[in-house]
Amino acid sequence: MELNGTTAIVTGGGSGIGAALATELAARGARVVVGDLDLSGASRVAESITGAGGQAVAVEADAAAVTGIEAMIARAEADFGPVDVYVANAGVIGKPGLGDESDWDVILDVNLRAHIRAARLLVPGWQSRGSGYFVSIASAAGLLTQLGAAGYAVSKHAAVGFAEWLAVTYGDDGIGVSCVCPLGVETPLLQGIRAADDPDARVGSSSIEHSAPVISAADVAHVTVEAVQADRFLVLPHPELVEMYRRKGSDYDRWVAGMRRYQRTLRAL
């Protein structure tokens, strides 16, 4: 997809991967709506983009709520024109372990239903125009799993599945989809897991940091935007993940046993 002159929305754009994606898209010529619950963070990112000569506006919005998504779309259309690219980046790690009903409601809303709600609002217009692009920021947890946090693992698996379904169902209508699955990325989310006292959370943090080198949000943004330009579905910022995913698929029982051993090792640290 040619990004110069397009209109893009990035959710969770006030920090971390979202901020890096907004900046990278603007550097490629996109006009960006930076959406976030934290308006001050979104505003800092938008001001940084405009200060560098790009075009961006900040919107305080809940990316998991239909009203929040509608507000971002309305601002994009008012300031820049119809939305061409939607980056579903906002995400939460959720509670460690199994959590309770309210925990599951939150994590499924943010990590999955937010994507579904955005697609329902945008896909009909993209079909009529014959173009549009959906970027799902999922996680390696959606291809492997996440030790210590059931909600995160399950919601990210579901996000990958939804992105696959979008790509299969609407690819012939000119709608592109990229699904991004990094391992450890130096972001406020990872920093929060590191600082947690819960033993399951500590296992989760250790599993992320021992699996592969932790990379920067800018690294993820760079490979993601290149994938959008190339219309490539699966984006793996960590090359190590390819072999991990192959080993899982080639012998599932062996992989599960290996993950149990890995979990025991991390709990003993």
The set of catalytic residues is 152
* Residue 89, token pair as written in the block: 């980046």
Place of tokens 């990590």: 111
Nearest CA to 106 out of 44, 62, 59, 55 is that of 62
DSSP string, 30-49: -EEEEEES-HHHHHHHHHHH
Report how far residue 158's alpha carbon sits from residue 156's, in angstroms, rounded to the nearest whole number.
5
Backbone dihedral angles phi then psi of residue 86, each to the nearest 5 degrees: -120, 120
Q: Reading across the β-sheet that carries 234-235, which strands appear in turn?
A: 55-60, 31-36, 7-10, 85-88, 132-137, 175-180, 234-235
Residue reference for tokens 């033993």: 199
Half-sphere exposure of 268 (CA within 13 A, CB side): 6
Q: Is the dihedral of CA 13, 14, 17, 19 positive or negative?
A: positive
Q: Which residue has the tokens 């330009």?
A: 229
Residue length, the chain?
269
Residue in this structure with the two tokens 């406020």, named with its chain if needed? 188
